Amino acid sequence: MLPPELIAEAVANGLLAGAAYALVALGLTLVYGVLHIVNFAHGALLTVAMFAAWGMHAFLGVEPYAAIVPLAVAFMALGYGLQRWVIGPASHGDDGNTLLVTLGLSILLENAMLALFRSDTRSLGTEAGFDVVEIGPMLLSRPRLIGFAVSLATAALLWAVLAMTDTGKAIRAVAKEKLGAQLSGIDPRHIYAVTFGLGCACLAVAACLLLPTFYVNPRVGNAFVLVAFTIVVLGGMGSIPGALVGGLIVGVVESLGGLLMGESLGQLGIFVIFILVLLLRPTGLFGARA
């Protein structure tokens, strides 16, 4: 049997990892909840965000944490533009077509990164990436603790925007009842684009938080896509608290599963949860009743 300190630290690691996954899943769940599309370009957009964060550091000397706000704004704009002028018009409102458009977009973006930056795997290499905080017998990575805090803050901020601002209310209106919202004078195309922009902004924040402890290459986003989908399903499509809680749960399950069964078989834990949630409670933990 494994010693309790080991399990405790695995749980702590899982929570830290889960917060990062949750941030990646936030954008995905928002886009699904409002636009009702499965965004296949999510991983590629994360890759672009990570290259942007890396580029800010490599070419402009901006530290990842300092880059959070400017990149979030930039990606908000990028996401808005993509949905308003590429994905929306090309899809003609059909779900199957949107899948194809986002797939095409992901191929385009990934290979654009490859063409621009080549296939080398790059890392930030700053000493700060190795800082640890000692909590009892546990050695927790400082960048990941910061990431945990910022993830929670971002989720809270996003929730506040949706609950309290006019735009947020418009987004929720369009998500619930598009026709009614339209009749109230809300432009769904604009709202869709804003939502997609918010999703991309979350990815930008996630990228800045991941960069100190991770690496960047044209495929890096793909590693997070399936786990993000799992979290969206577990938390309930369209629910922000769901994405956060779901992320933390998935992080802990992955961590404990890895500890007990080895990392490779441990991945089964994630998918088994995925399937069980879908079969037994498909709306997820916080999702609206279908």
Partner 1 sequence: MNPREVWPGLALLAVVAAMPLVASNAVLNFLLSSLVVALAAQGWNILGGYAGQLSFGHAAFFGTGAYATAILQTRYGVNAWAGLAAGIALGALVGWAIGLLAFRARLRGSYFALVTLAFAEVLRILANAADVTGGAAGLLVRLAPGAGNLQFASRAGFLWLLTGAVAAVLLLTAWIAHRRLGARLVAVRENEDAARALGVDVLRVKLSAIALSGAITAAAGCLYVQNFLYLDATIAYGTWISVEVLIACVLGGAGTVLGPVVGALALHGVGELAKIALGHVAGPVPGVDLVVFGALLILAVAFLPRGVMGGLRRALRGAGR
Partner 2 sequence: MTSHTTLPRRALLGAGAAGAGLLALPGLLRAQPAAVKIGLLQPLTGALAQDGELGRIGAEAAVARINADGGLPALGGARIELVVADARSNPEAGAQEVEKLQGEGVVAVVGGFASPICLAASQAAARYDLPYVVDVGVADSITARGLANTFRFAPGFGTVTGAAISNLVRLNDAAGKPCRTVVLVHEDGLFGSGLARLMATELPKHGFEVLETIAHPTPARDMNNIALRLRSLRPDLLIPSSYYGEFVLLSRTMRQQRIRPKGIYAVLNGAASNLRFVKEFPDAALGVMDCNHWHDPKNAEAVALKKGVEEAGRFWAYNIPLNYSCVKLVADAVNRAGSADRAKVMAALAASEFGGHVMPYGPTRFVSGQNQGARPVNTQVQDGDIKVIFPEEVADARAVFPIQG
- DSSP secondary structure code for residue 86 in this structure: I
Told to check if 130 binds partner 2 by CB under 8 A, we report yes
Give every CB contact of residue 67 below 8 A, 6+ residues apart in sequence. Answer: 52, 53, 56, 57, 208
Number of residues that bind partner 2 (CB under 8 A): 43
User: Cβ distance 50 to 210 under 8 Å?
Assistant: yes
Q: Where do the DSSP E strands lie in the chain? A: 122-123, 132-135, 138-141, 215-216
Q: Give the number of other Cβ atoms within 10 Å of residue 161's Cβ.
A: 15
> Cα separation of 41 and 278, whole Å?
23
Segment contacting partner 2 (CB under 8 A): 67-75, 114-122, 167-175, 277-285?
A: 114-122
Told to check if 184 binds partner 2 by CB under 8 A, we report no
Told to check if 120 binds partner 2 by CB under 8 A, we report yes
Q: What share of the chain is helix, strand, coil (3-state, %, to 5)?
A: 75, 5, 20
Told to check if 271 binds partner 2 by CB under 8 A, we report no
Told to check if 217 binds partner 2 by CB under 8 A, we report yes
Determine which residue in the list 8, 62, 114, 161 makes contact with partner 1, applying CB under 8 A. Answer: 114
Helix axes 188-210, 142-164, angle to 10 degrees: 170
Distance of closest approach, residue 100 Cβ to partner 1, in angstroms: 5
Nearer to partner 1, 26 or 28 (CB): 28
> Cα separation of 199 and 79, whole Å?
7
Distance of closest approach, residue 269 Cβ to partner 1, in angstroms: 10
122-123 and 215-216 strand pairing? antiparallel
Segment contacting partner 2 (CB under 8 A): 44-52, 72-80, 129-137, 161-169?
A: 129-137
Told to check if 1 binds partner 2 by CB under 8 A, we report no
151 binding partner (options partner 1, partner 2, none; Cβ < 5 to 8 Å by kind): none
Determine which residue in the list 130, 260, 271, 288 makes contact with partner 1, applying CB under 8 A. Answer: 271
> Cα separation of 229 and 273, whole Å?
12
DSSP 127-153: GGGG-EEEETTEEEEHHHHHHHHHHHH
Told to check if 92 binds partner 1 by CB under 8 A, we report yes
> Cα separation of 19 and 26, whole Å?
10
Told to check if 265 binds partner 2 by CB under 8 A, we report yes
Residues found near partner 2 in the complex (CB under 8 A):
3, 6, 9-10, 13, 16-17, 21, 111, 114, 118-123, 125, 129-132, 139, 141, 213-215, 217-220, 222-224, 227, 254-255, 258-259, 262-265, 267
Residues found near partner 1 in the complex (CB under 8 A):
32, 36, 38, 86, 89-92, 94-97, 99-101, 103-115, 118-119, 218, 226, 229-230, 233, 237, 264-265, 267-268, 271-272, 274-275, 278-280, 282
